[in-house]
Amino acid sequence: MSANVKEEPRIEIKVPEVDIEMAQQQQIRQKAKEMKLHGIMRSDRGECCMIDDKTLYEGDYIKEFMVRQIGDNFVKLEWNHNRNNGSLGTQSEPVEIMLNLLD
């Protein structure tokens, strides 16, 4: 005796592959674009910069970014996955951002 077994239709859902690391870097860069470098100065503590309304020295943090280097007309920021392992953090390499003074 054979039973009539009705097969369920097979459903396949295809999701386009997204380069997650690239999307994360884009989000990080967007966060950096919201910051404005107003000036670079020398103080008794050394070189400092003003980003938004904060005076910062190398090693200080602003909006999840570390001030890595202060140059004559630029500031190099670093977003580090190991420190910021929230929604943007699956990458292993730090992301560097440069803020430049306008001429």
Domain limits, the chain: 20-100
| Fold (topology level) of 20-100 | SH3 type barrels. (2.30.30)
Question: Quick one: pLDDT at residue 92?
Answer: 57
The set of long-range contacts for 27-35, using a CB threshold of 8 Å and a minimum separation of 24, is: 27/88, 28/79, 28/88, 28/95, 28/97, 29/95, 29/97, 31/63, 31/64, 31/65, 31/79, 32/65, 32/77, 32/79, 32/97, 32/99, 34/63, 35/62, 35/63, 35/65, 35/77, 35/99
Question: Quick one: pLDDT at residue 66?
Answer: 96
| Tens digit of pLDDT at every position of the chain (103 positions) | 556 666 766 766 665 556 777 788 788 888 888 899 999 999 899 999 999 999 999 999 998 899 999 999 999 999 876 555 554 444 457 888 999 997 5
